[in-house]
């Protein structure tokens, strides 16, 4: 225990971390072949979190990533972390540094810091980006486009299906459209907003996947749907990569629970 900030999470965060851990485990053979391999986390949080249902304190994503790579003996050469909350990112930076990680920390919204992060990445390296915002409005496609421009960049993206469900009405109003325009540019030409809400949501998601394809990457068909204890779907964990091998690794490790997957 330290005196640094700790965020609050729900127990399904454990599943998200388990998938991150497993992918890092599985990709270690590939990672070992690259001299530059960064872990990128643009919504890092403080690095420690309290599970509200159980009171258990757990590591946050950057520390989960550090420990997973440490176990395999091919640590990330650098951790590029960012968060809009300065106290959080400083806490994550300190916790990682204390473990011996090389860290560069950025403060600000993802769309502002992504360019500085891209400038810090070796274009010949193999990198993993974990994008874990609370809602779609915080996940502009420009962020993904920039990161996906690297030849060997795997992305594990948390897309909040709950936000899309809860806020769909707002997102379809003139005052709410900007968020959706940024998340999935061009959606208005591809989505029929007169149909049922679940079909609208599906079309928005499919359009977003189409945008990923346009970058030369693809989203794995294996989308993990994470539900809460009442079986309400909360988010989708979407794996995006350019290379077949990365997709194969994800497919082998993605399913950590018997929950249904798929949209
Ligand atoms: C779900 S939490 C991240 C949890 C962390 N990935 C983990 O697993 O431990 C989302 C984080 O995004 C940050 N955030 C919210 N809006 C943001 C934005 N536009 N850009 C960057 N960070 C943002 C919040 O401060 C919060 O720490």
Mutate to test the pocket of ligand 1, among 83, 96, 178, 234 (most ligand atoms within 8 A of CB): 83
- Give a yes or no: residue 172 inside a domain: no
The pLDDT-based confidence of 188 (bands split at 50, 70, 90) is very high
Query: What pLDDT sits at residue 58?
Result: 98
pLDDT of residue 262: 44
- Residue of minimum CA distance from atom 4 in ligand 1: 45
- Percent of the chain scored above 90 by pLDDT? 80
Residue 124 lies in a domain: yes
Distance 51 CA to ligand 1 centre (A): 16
In this prediction, residues 78-106 reach a mean pLDDT of 98
* Cα atoms in the Cβ-side hemisphere of radius 13 Å centred on 192: 4
Average pLDDT rounded to a whole number, residues 158-167: 92
Ligand 1 atom with the shortest distance to the CA of 130: 6
Q: What is the DSSP letter of 151?
A: T
Ligand 1 atom closest to Cα of residue 16: 8
Pocket probe mutation, ligand 1, options 8, 43, 64, max atoms within 8 Å of Cβ: 43
Rounded CA separation 25/34 (Å): 15
Mutate to test the pocket of ligand 1, among 67, 95, 134 (most ligand atoms within 8 A of CB): 134
Instruction: Categorize the per-residue pLDDT at 257 as very low, low, confident or very high, splitting at 50, 70 and 90.
Output: low
35 found inside a domain: yes
What's the average model confidence in pLDDT over 121-132?
98
Q: How far is the CA of 180 from the centre of ligand 1 (A)?
A: 18
Asked which of 57-61, 68-72, 229-233, 244-248 is least confident by mean pLDDT, the reply is: 229-233
Is pLDDT at 103 greater than 60 in this prediction?
yes
Q: How many domains does the chain have?
A: 1
Average pLDDT in the 6-27 region? Answer: 94
Q: Which domain holds residue 142?
A: 7-161+217-253
Q: Give the pLDDT band of residue 230 (cuts 50, 70, 90).
A: confident
Q: Is 175 domain-assigned?
A: no
> Is the pLDDT score of 148 beyond 80?
yes
Task: Specify if 39 maps to a domain.
Answer: yes
Tell me the CATH number at 51.
3.40.50.150
Per-residue pLDDT band for 53 (boundaries 50, 70, 90) equals very high
**Residues whose CB is less than 8 angstroms from the CB of residue 72 and which lie 6 or more positions away in sequence, other chains included:** 24, 25, 28, 31
Compare 32 and 220 and report the one with higher pLDDT: 32
Q: How far apart are CA 139 and CA 130, in angstroms?
A: 12
Share of the chain above pLDDT 70, in %: 96
**Region 233-256 average pLDDT:** 87
Domain membership flag for residue 187: no
133 lines ligand 1 (CB under 6 A): yes
Q: Which is more confidently placed, 209 or 257? A: 209
Q: Which helix (H) or strand (E) holds 70?
A: helix 61-72
Of 66, 70, 50, 46, the closest CA to residue 58 belongs to 50
Instruction: Determine, yes or no, domain membership for 168.
Output: no
Mean pLDDT of the chain: 92
In a domain? residue 178: no
Which residues have C-beta within 8 Å of that of residue 193, sequence separation ≥ 6?
172, 200
């Amino acid at each position: 225990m330290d005196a640094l900030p700790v965020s609050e999470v729900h127990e399904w965060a454990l599943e998200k971390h388990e998938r991150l851990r497993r992918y890092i485990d599985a990709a270690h053979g590939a990672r070992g072949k690259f001299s530059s391999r960064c872990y990128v986390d643009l919504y890092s949080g403080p690095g420690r979190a309290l599970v509200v249902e159980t009171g258990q304190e757990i590591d946050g994503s950057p520390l989960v990533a550090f420990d997973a790579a440490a176990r395999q003996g091919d640590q990330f050469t650098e951790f590029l972390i960012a968060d809009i909350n300065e106290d959080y990112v400083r806490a994550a930076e300190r916790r990682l540094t204390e473990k011996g990680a090389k860290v560069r920390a950025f403060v600000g919204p993802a769309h502002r810091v992504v360019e500085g992060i891209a400038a810090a990445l070796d274009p010949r390296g193999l990198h993993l980006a974990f994008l874990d915002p609370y809602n779609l409005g915080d996940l502009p496609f420009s962020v993904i486009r920039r990161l996906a421009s690297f030849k060997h960049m795997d992305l594990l993206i948390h897309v909040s299906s709950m936000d899309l469900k809860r806020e769909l009405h707002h997102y379809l109003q003139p005052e709410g459209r900007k968020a959706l325009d940024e998340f999935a540019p061009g959606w208005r030409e591809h989505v029929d907003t007169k149909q049922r809400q679940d079909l609208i949501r599906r079309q928005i998601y499919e359009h977003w996947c189409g945008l990923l394809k346009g970058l030369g990457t693809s989203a794995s068909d294996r989308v993990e749907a994470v539900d809460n204890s009442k079986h309400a779907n909360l988010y989708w964990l979407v794996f995006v990569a350019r290379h077949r091998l990365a997709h194969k690794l994800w497919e082998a490790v993605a399913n950590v629970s018997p929950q249904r997957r798929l949209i």
